[in-house]
Structures are given as structure tokens and as C-alpha cells.
Structure 1
């Protein structure tokens, strides 16, 4: 047993030899769909070569991390991490689904976001006696694969999350299964809830409108000079028709390779989909979120009146307290030492515990 400092917390470590489902080393071609760089490659290789992660004891509360993986029929291997309390009794488990882009299981990406907010969320769950599973979506992080960008659609993410739910429900260690999705992951969670019998849903900074409306709103606010052309492109994709994009300013967002994905996601409106759900729902929204605002959360609440809405004053998209200044807000995106907003943890853990108590 050893002692070291990790983000100003004293942590005791001991070897863990528990294996969840099946652990294998598969070192094939590690290839991200969009983000091919040596740093991502190194990160993926390190993740798949670690067989066991240590148990941790933080502030007297023990929890453990275990690498997990799921083999898909297409030969794709999805990798994740189970974080769970060490108490030898059934406990609730939360499937944590990350947001859009190359965001990994911890909430980080190669483009400067290293806030570690999803890992912090998992650790806080475990300290409260709640297990969680977070994972790298297909094509991202340790789940990098040879899929071509044009062959990836939004429904693939929904199907993958649904399979994780099936595995969790079959695991006797878990007494209930709740899904928590962040940003785009919130919509994935809503759609999973339509397909799978989950016990509850947590929407963290989830949009209340369709992706195309969010895209056009953000463009209108930040790049109005490309709004007219963007509107034309979106209209074509809404009809399911791909369109040639010549404008360099629009290439990254609407390039041909990503258009099939956009077409598939444009079919869904979160407010329409959440209305179909009959399970307990918790809507969490920060007042200083630069990507999703309070109107989104209120739209979801209006669509499903039984959902519980919690607005956390001062919380931003990274689920952390932020100054009102936009530059300072963005600075939190790359700071892993800032803790999660204090009201967030009791809000989500109490919700999960209340659901589990009724099982």
C-alpha cells in the first residue's frame, strides 16, 4: 500500500485483481475517426495495456476502478471503466454517456478540454455508494477503430449505450440502472430510455431543441456572416440530402464525411422524445453554461411535466463553478483541479438513491 497526492487529495492504493466481464489486450490498428494524432494514439495504447486499476480510498470511503470492454458484432471493441464502492452488497449503477465530438470517458478531448468532469462525477458517485460505468464511444480514445467517418451515424451511439444497459442489468452486483447523459449524451440517454427498461434518467446540460436548431442558434450568435449558407445546408440535410460545401468556414462543421451523422441526428428533437418517457427524470442545468442555456432545460421540463428540474447557479458546461467572465469560464475547460459544482453531487446522488430505495 502506498500514499501519494492526486489533485490535492491523499489517496491510498492497493492492488486489485477483480475482473469485470472480460479483459483482453487487443493491439490492432488504433485509428480515430476524426482525430488522428500521436497523442491520442499513445493514450489509447496505454489504456488497453493496463490490465488492472488500483482500488482507491478517498476521505475514508473506499472504491475501485475496473477496465471493461464490449465486443460489437462489427468487430468494434468499446472500452470503459467501472467505478464502484468496495462494499460487498448490491448497489445502483449509473451509465455515464459523454457529449459530442472526441470527448472521452473522463470528459476530456484532444482539443484543449481536460477538465476531467466525468471522472470526477464517477468518483463522487462511488463515494456515495453508487457505481458507474463510463466509456469511450466508438472511434474515440481507447475505443478507436477503423470505421470511416462517413459510415458512422448517431444511432450507432444509441445502440452502443443500449448494449451497455443490457450488460449492467444482467450484472447481479447492481440493484438498479440509471442513465446519465451529458450534452449530446443526454439525447442519447433519452433514446436509450425508449429502447431499454432503465430505472431513471439524468440529463446533464442536455439540449431542449434539435441539433440543427442549436447549431443555427450558436452560429447566429457567434458567426452571423455564415448563417445564411448554414441555414441552406441544414435545410438540405433535414431532407436527408447531402450537399457540397465549398466555404472553408463551413467545411469542419458540414464536411461531406460527417453529413450522414448529422442527417441521422437531425431526425430527433429532445423535447419530442422526452415526452414519451414514463420513468423518473432529473434535469440538471447550470446558469453559466455557454453551450446550453436554461431555456433548453425548461423546454425539456415543459415537455415532460413530471421531470424534476434543478438549475445550479454559477455552474458551466463542465459542471463546475465559473466566474461570469466568458474568458474565465472557458479557462475552466482545461483545469482538472477545479472541483464539480457543490450542489451537483447531492442533486444527482439523492435522485439515484431515491430510485434505488423503491426497488
Structure 2
């Protein structure tokens, strides 16, 4: 995947926000930083762009939830009616803000575009800044000192806050990339969550993905042995001595982030999804250079009742890419004006509309493309 640029991407990149360090390599995004489908019919009229812009202005409000040391902050967009579903968008790894952007060069605004698209279909969303980052800096003094379990606690707080704020009977967890792993772990704690929307979510353990991403590029040969040894240690719950580690790997395995990596490496997303009793949508773009189709199929195998939507010409940030060229794919990561690929909003909204009884797994109009 993006193993070719692993060293260049991470070396010296810690990430800064407002003069303080933010979580850059803390989540090494082995899943994010190594760097159209047919639409089912909808029973709701799509709003025009002008209507959508006006709706975004009229219906956008700020919302917060309690964190360990201060408030967690987010943005709610949509009608927020007691009769309409609410989707909590859980961001991917690294210093990713509520809109899906980060100071390391990703500016696709994926989560903002998701929120706007779903609002046009009368689905309210809440998109959030993670603990210790951006507007949620007060929630913890050290954004690197977190675990997946900490994020699960925060999602629990968000679900309670949304329910209290809106009274909505239907709350869905939408996890993007690493956020899908958090959603899987968080839902085990909440019986009142309707179901899961797993978008570009790994089906394999993070350590396994990182090994793959490092190994596929011959340019990583000089550091591969050391990197694989570090992954082995972290998977076994042991910290890694970085004294003699190659400088090219320090961004990935620096001591400050090893606690999180140990936590992340311990979770098996497919195992979390086994015997899951609620509706699940697995949405995967077939031009994704970070999470592959095999991951979506592993998740589908773990939950045969889940709905699998494979979207041709859709990449990791849910933009349309018609080329196999790496540069064309990555260029979309920095273009907030580029809309989401056709089929993305339709897949999510149609699934919610068909499954939003929170009691059954009635299949929506989307079907596995078989690609």
C-alpha cells in the first residue's frame, strides 16, 4: 500500500496544532498514514446543492460530551428530530479532526461531506474531535496517552450525550478506517446502538496490516527486519527499545506512542464482529490503497448477515478515482472541493432507511457487487 513512502511520510512528522504537539505517529496509522457503484432507489427526494448549503447553515450546531479532564467537542448537522436517525462519525487514526482533515497534509473533508450528504437525506450526523485534539484538547493533557479502550469510553459518552440532546431513538456508529475498529469495540458496551456502518475498515489486526504495507516495497528492505521485530514485540504487549532503531522508523515506533500501538494491535476486528446481532453495513472502495477488498470480505465472513457494498472507483477518502496511478489517488486526499464518489451517500442512507428498526437485519436494496 503506501509502504513506498513510509519513511518520507513519517520522518520528523509529529504534527502540531496551536503550538502544541498533536497525535501524529501515535496512531502510526498503519491503516491511514502509509501512504461507481449503482445506487439503490431512495424513497426520499435528493436536495439540490443550494438546498443542501442552506440546510447545512440552518441545521449545524455544536455539541459536547464529558471527557476525562474536560469536554469533548463536536458538530451536529441535520434536523435532529426525535423521529430521525443520528449517525455518530468516528474518525480514523492520527491527528484527524471532525471534518476528516489533519495537519499532515490530508484535506479531503470526507466527514464534512458525509455529514452534508446525509443531511440532505434527513439523517442527522455528529462528527467529533478526538480526545486531546483540536477543540477537544481539554479532555486530556496528553493526546498520545490514549488506548482504544479510552476511545470506547468517549464513544459511550457521545452516545449518551446525543440521546440526551436529541431524544433520537436511533443512533448508528459510523467508523472510518481505524474508527471502524473503535466502533466495533464501542458497540459491545451499548445495547441501545442500532448498528454499525463500517467504512474502509480493516478486517485484519493492525500489526498484520503494517507488516504487509512494509513488506510489499523493496525500498524498505534495509529497515524491514527491525520493523518486523518491533511489531512482534508490540503484539506481545512489550515495549520496544528505540535506542539503536533506524531514524526512519522512530516516527512509527517512538516511545510516546507505543502504549497505543500495544492497545491497537491487541484487537481483532473480525473477532469483534462475530455473532454481532444488529445490522451492519461494510462499505469498501475498490480503489482504496490503504484498506483492501480482502479486509471487507474478512468482515463479511465474520458476520454473514452484514451488508457488503463494494464501490468501484472509490478510494480511502471516499473520492472517485478512475486511474490506477498512485499520484491520482493521493491527489484526492488534498482536495476538499472534490465531492464524495457517487454511491457513497446512497449506500449509507439506503441501508439506514431499510434497516432502521434496530430489531432485524432486513437486507436493504444494496447488494454485494461480487467484484
User: The TM-score by the shorter chain falls in which range?
Assistant: 0.7 to 0.9
Query: Does 2:237 align with 1:240?
Result: yes
Instruction: Check 1:141–1:149 CA distance in 2 against 1; reply closer, same or farther (3 A cut).
Output: closer
Q: Is residue 15–residue 104 contact of structure 2 (8 Å, CA) maintained in 1?
A: no
Q: Is residue 243–residue 256 contact of structure 1 (8 Å, CA) maintained in 2?
A: yes
1:169-180 paired onto structure 2 within 5 Å: 169-180=163-174
Match of 1:291 in 2: 290
Moved more, 333-342 or 144-153: 144-153
Structure 2, unmatched stretches of 5+, are 1-13, 22-46, 360-371
Instruction: Give the Å deviation of 1:177.
Output: 0.6
Match of 1:160 in 2: 154
User: Secondary structure of the equivalent of 2:281?
Assistant: strand
Match of 2:25 in 1: none
Rounded to whole Å, the distance in 2 between the matches of 1:358 and 1:188 is 20
Rounded to whole Å, the distance in 2 between the matches of 1:156 and 1:311 is 31
Q: 1:210 aligns with which of 205, 211, 215?
A: 205
Structure 1, unmatched stretches of 5+, are 1-33, 42-55
Q: Is residue 70–residue 78 contact of structure 1 (8 Å, CA) maintained in 2?
A: yes
User: Secondary structure of the equivalent of 1:91?
Assistant: coil
1:1-359 paired onto structure 2 within 5 Å: 35-38=15-18, 58-60=49-51, 62-63=55-56, 64-72=59-67, 74-85=68-79, 90-145=83-138, 147-148=141-142, 151-197=145-191, 198-222=193-217, 223-245=220-242, 246-324=245-323, 325-356=325-356
Rounded to whole Å, the distance in 1 between the matches of 2:248 and 2:186 is 34
Moved more, 201-210 or 151-160: 151-160
Instruction: Give the Å deviation of 1:75.
Output: 1.5
Q: Is residue 40–residue 110 contact of structure 1 (8 Å, CA) maintained in 2?
A: no
Instruction: Check 1:358–1:182 CA distance in 2 against 1; reply closer, same or farther (3 A cut).
Output: closer
Rounded to whole Å, the distance in 1 between the matches of 2:143 and 2:358 is 43
Instruction: Check 1:263–1:89 CA distance in 2 against 1; reply closer, same or farther (3 A cut).
Output: closer
How well do the aligned residues superpose, as a CA RMSD in angstroms? 2.1
Instruction: Give the Å deviation of 1:171.
Output: 4.0
Rounded to whole Å, the distance in 1 between the matches of 2:17 and 2:267 is 32
User: Secondary structure of the equivalent of 1:133?
Assistant: strand
Rounded to whole Å, the distance in 2 between the matches of 1:82 and 1:312 is 27
Instruction: Check 1:127–1:40 CA distance in 2 against 1; reply closer, same or farther (3 A cut).
Output: farther
Higher strand share: 1
Instruction: Check 1:134–1:328 CA distance in 2 against 1; reply closer, same or farther (3 A cut).
Output: same
Q: Is residue 99–residue 110 contact of structure 2 (8 Å, CA) maintained in 1?
A: yes
User: Secondary structure of the equivalent of 1:190?
Assistant: helix
TM-score norm. by structure 2 comes to: 0.79
The number of residues matched between the two structures is: 310
Q: Is residue 319–residue 341 contact of structure 2 (8 Å, CA) maintained in 1?
A: yes
Instruction: Give the Å deviation of 1:39.
Output: 7.6
CA deviations on 1:231-275 (whole Å, 9 max, x unpaired) are 111111122111112211110000111001011111101111111
CA deviations on 1:282-306 (whole Å, 9 max, x unpaired) are 0000011010010000010011111
